[in-house]
Amino acid sequence: MEVELLLRITAIVVAGGFLVQVINWSDIWTNIKSRFKRKEKEIVEEEVDFLEIVGLWHTLKDKCTLYGLEEAVEKLDEVFPLLNSEEKNV
């Protein structure tokens, strides 16, 4: 090998060594990991007012009664007995 070719190869290796030291590998590694990481579904929790839930329950029960779904009305009464207590007291 010629001396000039050896100097060029040595210069490239030294420059590569400096380049490897300057690069922030932790950022690159974090970026690579984030691309292959499973994305978890974000669960958005909304504050739901209890009275809104009761209103929706009454709406569902009224619709079931309107369409003659007596068995569904009975099951709703079984599942939500506390919401029924006001109707029995009246």
How many domains does the chain fold into?
Answer: 2
Task: Tokens for 6, please give them.
Answer: 């050896």
Query: Residue 45: inside a domain, yes or no?
Result: no
Query: What pLDDT, in 10s, does the model give residues 11-34?
Result: 999 999 888 888 888 888 888 888
Give yes or no: residues 56 and 85 share one domain: yes
Query: Residue 42: inside a domain, yes or no?
Result: no
Give yes or no: residues 55 and 32 share one domain: no
Alpha helices in 1-90 (DSSP H): 3-22, 25-36, 50-66, 70-79, 81-89
Is the pLDDT confidence value at 89 over 50?
A: no
Query: What pLDDT, in 10s, does the model give residues 34-79?
Result: 888 776 666 656 666 777 888 888 898 899 999 998 998 888 888 8
Task: Tokens for 77, please give them.
Answer: 């009464």
Task: Tokens for 51, please give them.
Answer: 């009275």
φ and ψ of 13, to 5 deg:
-65, -45
List the domain range (segments joined by +) for residue 12. 3-36
Query: Residue 25: inside a domain, yes or no?
Result: yes
Smallest Cα–Cα separation from 37: which of 49, 27, 45, 29?
A: 29
